[in-house]
Amino acid sequence: MNMNITKILLLAFFTTNLLYADIIASDWLRPNSVPTPYDNQLSDKRIELGKLLYFDKRLSSSNEISCATCHDPKLGWSDALSKSIGHDGAKGPRNSPTIINTAYQEHQFWDGRVKSLEEQALGPIEAEVEMNMPLKKLIVKLKNIDGYVKLFKEAYPESDITKETLAKAIASFERTVLSTESPFDRYVKGDEDAVNKDAKDGFKLFRNKGRCTDCHSGFNFTDGSFHNLGLGDKDKGRIKTRKGVETSTGEMKTPTLRDITKTWPYFHDGSVKTLHEAVAICGNGGRFTDAKNLSHLIIDRDLNIDEIEKIVAFLRTLEGKDLDISIPTKFPR
């Protein structure tokens, strides 16, 4: 073959596949296995028990609030409120984060104050502004429900109903709340038609000019770290869990972008209702460039309206079908 023709064909090939040149599918696809602690391996009985507990309003002092009240599967496992509403109408200080893919996160809660789903599971139960149920009282309550006594014994035969087994069961269910295959996943697997041109352009902007991957990296689109976005609110964030570390002032955990279309309003303060505004804030320097301890990653990338629209088009491709689960309507007696 003529050398010039060969060069032209190679150039055409690499131009056509330029988008894939720096994409490794495994970097963007959810792993097949879920991280699980050695002392709480997943089993069908533990998952089913955890699901019942997750949706059971009797875990609250009022018998009116369950974990699903603030983390509703019909609302992206969040609640579509700027600030969570808990016991006796009390308003929480922050937006309810989704629990999708929390199994893969090393820190839980916006400020990362605990490192496991087991620790996370108990916090909202006792919190006065959430479920307002002292654990000692709840354990007694559960022990008086024969159906739960039986289920706990089947799930954790070496133990009793304790705050530890309660936390383990709820955490076991939460580990099954995972993102489903999205158009983006099909795209990185090689299906060029899974997303449109705007979304493809948006993915390039997301990785390059926008530098969104500085914080939203990997299959879960989060670095698992903490940043101050310069939103201008008074929430001290991570510094509360890292006493004396001034550089943690106002820092919040980077949320996953999986199913981001379902989990509005956005940010820890729930102050943003649209993806366009969220992208503009993160991509163009935050609300306040003089904010104390503003993350060095939050700088003005000079994204224009068209570029923001394309990034949003890409973000929409991260939406998968709702997780197929049966929501309990009857609970142990």
Ordered alpha helix ranges (H), the chain: 3-16, 25-28, 44-55, 67-70, 117-126, 135-143, 146-155, 163-174, 183-188, 197-207, 275-283, 305-316
Q: Could you tell me which of 186, 222, 217, 210 has the C-alpha nearest to residue 285?
A: 210
Q: Could you tell me which of 120, 98, 108, 109 has the C-alpha nearest to residue 170?
A: 120
In Å, the largest CA–CA distance within the chain is 85
The verdict on whether 130 is a catalytic residue reads yes
d(CA 111, CA 97): 11
Return the SS3 of 289. Answer: coil
d(CA 133, CA 194): 47
Cα Rg of the chain, angstroms: 22
Selecting among 64, 126, 130, 251, the annotated active-site residue is 130
Strand-pairing partners, residue 227, are 252
d(CA 134, CA 128): 9
Q: Could you tell me which of 26, 315, 49, 321 has the C-alpha nearest to residue 178?
A: 321
Q: Could you tell me which of 297, 292, 282 has the C-alpha nearest to residue 239?
A: 292
Question: Residue 169: how many CB atoms within 10 A of its CB?
Answer: 29
As annotated, the active-site residues are: 130
